[in-house]
């Protein structure tokens, strides 16, 4: 996919560390960067624009007074990648409260999105989640291309929700039969995703396999294994939960 238009959205405050990273990502993708400032104090906005122009006189800057106006611009401009700073929030509070970045990207279902955690200064290690129900070969190809261009290392992962399937099977099957079906289901899920990986990319790609609720276990694995970015697909179920449980940057790529 040609990432021809990359937009860096900043809401109320400008994160210069994220800006440097957004510029680097755009450069690695082979294209320029467009700046969108939303709901800035006028004095602060003037300071930011002045500094940006000092960095690059040809830089494209768009300013808007509300999230709605900025989202209308995004819909019309049709960028290939939308990058937004994701504020650091206490996980317990995050369950009940959307960040400004999440409010902004909510409803932007036709675009690739990158929520840059506000403390992120580099993306060198990426974890790409595969969901058994919704993962497509198109998504795998896009994630592979994206990760290959911007990072030094990336892995694919699948989490088999064993307890969920086991509880459902035990309602209709005897224990031994349920265990047998569960093993077969696990093997079938892994095999199917490994085949999708191979077909999408054209070669054998290792797949990390873990067990547990994927919207909890995958973000936890990402966090505890020092990944800088977790990639999920746009149509995954409980997408918001993945974002809430991930304490680093998250990319949401089209299926």
pLDDT in single tens digits along all 255 residues of the chain: 677 789 999 999 999 999 999 999 999 998 889 999 999 999 999 999 999 999 988 889 999 999 999 999 999 999 999 999 998 887 777 778 888 899 999 889 999 999 999 988 899 999 999 999 999 999 999 999 999 999 989 999 999 998 777 767 767 776 777 788 778 989 999 999 999 999 999 999 999 999 999 999 999 999 999 999 999 999 999 999 999 998 899 999 999
Q: Is residue 114 included in any domain, yes or no?
A: yes
Q: Which of 82, 99, 121 is the last residue of a domain?
A: 121
Residue 222: inside a domain:
yes
Let me know whether 95 and 127 are in one domain: no
Here the CATH number for the domain that contains residue 212 is 3.40.50
Number of structural domains in the chain: 2
Structural domain that includes position 140: 123-226
Q: Which of residues 106, 121, 136 is at a domain's end?
A: 121
Answer yes or no: do 82 and 146 share one domain: no
User: Residue 19 domain-assigned?
Assistant: yes
Q: Please check whether residues 117 and 11 belong to one and the same domain.
A: yes
Q: Are 196 and 135 in contact (CB under 8 A)?
A: yes
Catalogue the long-range contacts made by 67-72 (C-beta closer than 8 Å, 24 or more residues apart): 67/11, 67/38, 67/39, 67/100, 67/103, 67/104, 69/38, 70/9, 70/36, 70/38, 70/104, 71/104, 71/107, 71/108
Domain identity same for 53 and 73: yes
Residue 95 shares a structural domain with residue 138: no
Q: Residues 22, 112: one domain?
A: yes
CATH of the domain at 109: 3.40.50.620
How much is the pLDDT for 59? 87
Confidence (pLDDT) at 182? 77
What pLDDT, on the 0 to 100 scale, is given for residue 44? Answer: 96
Q: Are residues 129 and 108 in the same domain?
A: no
85 and 148 part of one domain: no
The answer as to whether 31 is a domain residue is yes
In a domain, 209, yes or no: yes
191 belongs to a structural domain:
yes
| 163 and 209 part of one domain | yes
Based on the domain organization, do 136 and 206 belong to the same domain?
yes
Residues 116 and 195 in one domain: no
- 74 falls within a domain: yes
* Residue 246: inside a domain: no
| 107 shares a domain with 10 | yes
């Amino acid at each position: 996919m040609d990432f021809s238009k990359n937009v860096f959205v900043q809401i109320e405050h400008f994160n210069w560390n994220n800006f440097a990273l957004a510029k680097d990502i755009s450069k690695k993708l082979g294209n320029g960067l467009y700046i969108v400032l939303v709901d800035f104090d006028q004095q602060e906005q003037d300071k930011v624009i002045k500094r940006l122009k000092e960095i690059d006189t040809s830089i494209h800057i768009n300013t808007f007074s509300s999230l709605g106006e900025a989202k209308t611009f995004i819909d019309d401009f049709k960028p290939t990648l939308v990058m937004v700073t994701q504020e650091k929030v206490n996980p317990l509070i995050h369950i009940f409260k959307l960040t400004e970045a999440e409010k902004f990207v909510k409803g932007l279902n036709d675009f690739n999105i990158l929520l840059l955690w506000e403390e992120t200064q580099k993306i060198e290690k990426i974890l790409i989640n595969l969901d058994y129900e919704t993962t497509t070969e198109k998504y795998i190809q896009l994630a592979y291309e994206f990760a290959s261009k911007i990072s030094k290392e990336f892995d694919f992962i699948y989490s088999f929700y064993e307890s969920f399937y086991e509880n459902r099977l035990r309602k209709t099957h005897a224990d031994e039969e349920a265990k047998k079906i569960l093993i077969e289901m696990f093997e079938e899920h892994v095999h199917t995703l490994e085949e999708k990986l191979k077909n999408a990319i054209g070669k054998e790609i290792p797949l990390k396999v873990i067990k547990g609720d994927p919207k909890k276990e995958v973000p936890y694995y990402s966090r505890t294994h020092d990944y800088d970015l977790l990639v999920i697909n746009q149509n995954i179920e409980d997408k918001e939960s993945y974002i809430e449980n991930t304490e680093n940057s998250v990319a949401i790529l089209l299926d």
